[in-house]
């Protein structure tokens, strides 16, 4: 069985929204939201260390106050972003191997360096033993 490619005029399939095509809005959106998750290099200086019971994340955010930052933790993903009224924009995300225990985690901002201590949620085995009759 053979298949042949159907040729169609390219102009028929092009989108006619020059604002999205010319300024790279889609590329910017994907870089902002998924760039840090995929291991791409971030614009912000960050250090991540893996300890026995917690991860340590340090992020340089000079010129921002704690009221201007938002930290979101969902499972094993940590997102840090600046609020709209902040003088500069910060948006970064990290995915860790284990889920984060939000109750035991802390955040501290000192001299323009945000330090997060992210406690690891150790997986608990849910294996049950059955008695043999």
pLDDT at residue 133, rounded to an integer? 87
76 located within any domain: yes
In a domain, 20, yes or no: no
Task: Confirm whether 31 is domain-assigned.
Answer: no
Question: What span, in angstroms and rounded, lies between the C-alpha atoms of 99 and 122?
Answer: 8
Q: Considering the chain, what percentage of its residues have pLDDT values greater than 70? A: 67
Q: Which of 40, 39, 46 is nearest to 114 (CA)?
A: 46
- Report pLDDT digits (tens) over 17-59: 555 455 566 666 666 655 545 444 445 578 999 999 999 999 9
Neighbours of 100 (CB within 10 A): 22
- Domain membership of residue 53 (yes or no) is yes
Mean pLDDT of 53-74: 94
Give the whole-angstrom CA distance, residue 65 versus residue 49: 24
pLDDT at 33 (0 to 100)? 59
Structural domain of 103: 45-121
- Residue 110: exposure state from Cβ atoms within 10 A (0-12, 13-18, ≥19): exposed
Residue at 18 is within a domain: no
Residue 117 within a domain: yes
* Domain count across the chain: 1
Say which CATH number the domain at 69 has: 2.60.40.790
What does the pLDDT look like over 112-132, one tens digit per residue? 999 999 999 988 888 888 999
User: What is the pTM for the complete model shown?
Assistant: 0.62
Average pLDDT over every residue of 3-24:
51
Residue 33 is assigned to a structural domain of this protein: no
Residue 118: other Cβ atoms inside 10 A: 26
Is residue 61 included in any domain, yes or no? yes
């Amino acid at each position: 069985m053979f298949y042949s490619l159907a040729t169609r005029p390219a102009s028929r399939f092009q989108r006619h929204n020059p604002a999205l095509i010319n300024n790279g809005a889609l590329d910017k959106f994907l870089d902002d939201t998924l760039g840090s998750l995929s291991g791409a290099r971030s614009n912000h200086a960050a250090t991540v260390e893996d300890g026995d019971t917690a991860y340590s994340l340090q992020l340089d955010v000079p010129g921002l106050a704690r009221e201007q930052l938002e930290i979101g933790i969902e499972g094993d993903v940590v997102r840090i972003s600046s609020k709209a009224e902040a003088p500069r924009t910060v948006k970064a995300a990290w995915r860790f191997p284990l889920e984060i225990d939000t109750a035991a985690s802390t955040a501290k901002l000192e001299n323009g360096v945000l330090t997060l201590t992210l406690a690891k949620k150790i997986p608990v085995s849910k294996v049950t033993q059955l008695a043999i009759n």
